[in-house]
Structure 1
Amino acid sequence: MSAQRVLDLTHSFEERTIYWPTETGFHYWYEHHGPVAGEERFYAAGTFYAPEHGGTHMDAPLHFSEGGASADRVPLEQCMGPACVIDLRRRAESDADAALSVADLERHERQWGLLPDGAIVVAYSGWGRFWPEKKQYLGTDRWADVENLHFPGYSPEAVSFLLRERKVAALAIDTASLDPGGSRDFPVHRLWLGAGRPGFENLANVEALPPRGATIYGIPMKIAGGTGAPARVFASLP
């Protein structure tokens, strides 16, 4: 796999990384950065703090399913697979709460064929262009304001179709949640994670993914008991 054929789908973790309005965000500091006293050598080491769910990350089934797999128990086979990119940008441009529908899936399959077993379905809303501007990306930049969230997601009907009719390994999206921002009871999370499948949120550079032909790898931090984890997501391109 040459460097020219690898696409990074991960936003860097730093002070502007977007988290849910009720989360404190990512913090990093150097414990040491400079010459070692009395020695002619450089040394650097740092510390970070971060909630599980923010930036490019994986939702483990445990996040919305009691008894579901934690981050360290999600099979790696569910974290890699052929990418199937479903474009819903046109509707998202006029509706910030647009949801990927069964019709979107059917339109994609008419052009590209049935979703292969083990696929990772990527909802492409175009929201990555707003990163890291929190108000544009989330719909609000106010602390704890969950009433004014607006961004695209999946519809429960589309997720039910995928669970019933296809053998998809994972869902992914270039927004802050699998559910649209206006959702209050998170039916997509409950359906998908409740079926024991992981989800990947806040993907970067989705515009560079082809509709088919790439393979996605979502490698989460192995947090024992975690409900989710920061992830390095990337793709090998055809």
Structure 2
Amino acid sequence: MHFPIFSTLTVLAFITGKVDLKLVDLTHILGPSPPNWPGDPPYIFTILYRQQFDDYWYELNKFETVEHIGTHLDAPAHFSEGSKRVHEIPMEKLAGPGVIINVKAKVAENLDYQVSKDDLEAWESKHNKTIPNGSVVIMNSGWSSKFPNASLLFGTETPDNASTFHFPGWKKESVDWLITERFVNAIGVDTPSTDFGQSATFPVHQRLGKGNVPGVELVANLDSIPEYGSTIYVAVIRIYEGSGGPARVFATFQENEDDDEDSESESDSETSEESVSE
């Protein structure tokens, strides 16, 4: 099943203007010195022009970067020979119903936590629905607040040594289940890797690659969207032959009018109480 790039809700919002559609950016700012994986060359931003000419102002810059830095997409080819590279990924695989797996409480007790199938079944039980085909499923571990501090992000005082990394990720078995039983479009994390920090062989990356399922890493602001009910878009730069690339990840969802009314009622109640006390 292919999930349409623009949901019915989105189309109605733009055509009629009657749907209160909220847009949330899930992307970290790239620069000025974003953390990168040990051994990768650093991000370099160079100003070429930033000046006034006779009749106009003109700016032009250049930047040099590896593909896998900041909020970015891993193409299946990243860890699987013969799988799709960035320019070959169909557009419909870069969007889908947002499914946010909140494991913040478990990560607070174990920095090396890996999202389990039990976590996925718990989500389905809580929301009384199966994870939809074509979903973009993202782990929310509460990790995004650590960006761009490299020591915090990689969970170590030696961020140049990958063997010391401690951060959460996915279990291979969970990813396999999402691919074979729920037919998801993409799987992501708010950490530097879909594999947890202590992984040495990257089995999740390998499984995603063999399944031709993109991975999304270093996703931001996940607390700003609902666990279910959004549409997530992964707008990666379409790099020819790319194994990945920086992406502008964002979500849309309909504002809950009942929540707004409740908030207004609570505000009115508080105002009334303050008036009485005065």
1:8-23 equivalent positions in 2, closer than 5 A: 8-23=25-40
The offset of 1:19, in angstroms, is 1.6
- Quick one: distance in 1 between partners of 2:194 and 2:63? 26
Deviations 1:26-63 (A, max 9, x none): 21121010112xx1321110000110011000000110
The answer as to whether partners of 2:77 and 2:209 remain within 8 angstroms in 1 is yes
Question: Which has the higher relative contact order, 1 or 2, with Cα contacts under 8 A spaced 6 or more apart?
Answer: 1
Q: After superposing the two structures, state which structure 1 stretch, 121-130 or 9-18, moved more.
A: 9-18
TM-score by length of 2: 0.82
The answer as to whether partners of 2:159 and 2:165 remain within 8 angstroms in 1 is no
Q: After superposing the two structures, state which structure 1 stretch, 190-199 or 3-12, moved more.
A: 3-12
Instruction: State the aligned residue count.
Output: 236
Letter in 2 for 1:24: P
- Quick one: distance in 2 between partners of 1:40 and 1:80? 43
Q: After superposing the two structures, state which structure 1 stretch, 8-17 or 53-62, moved more.
A: 8-17
> What secondary structure does 1:110 align onto?
helix
> What secondary structure does 1:86 align onto?
strand
Aligned to 1:205: 221
The offset of 1:15, in angstroms, is 2.1
Alignment partner of 1:160 is 2:157? no
Instruction: Name which of 32, 38, 48 aligns with 1:31.
Output: 48
Aligned to 1:235: 251
> What secondary structure does 2:229 align onto?
coil
Change (3 A) 1:119 1:70: same
Gaps of 5+ in 1: none
Q: Which has the higher helix share?
A: 2
Which has the greater radius of gyration? 2
Aligned to 1:87: 102
Letter in 1 for 2:227: P
Aligned to 1:189: 205
- Quick one: distance in 1 between partners of 2:97 and 2:179? 17
The offset of 1:121, in angstroms, is 0.5
> What secondary structure does 1:214 align onto?
strand
The answer as to whether partners of 2:116 and 2:173 remain within 8 angstroms in 1 is yes
Q: After superposing the two structures, state which structure 1 stretch, 155-164 or 195-204, moved more.
A: 155-164
1:64-79 equivalent positions in 2, closer than 5 A: 64-79=79-94
Alignment partner of 1:150 is 2:150? no
> What secondary structure does 2:83 align onto?
coil
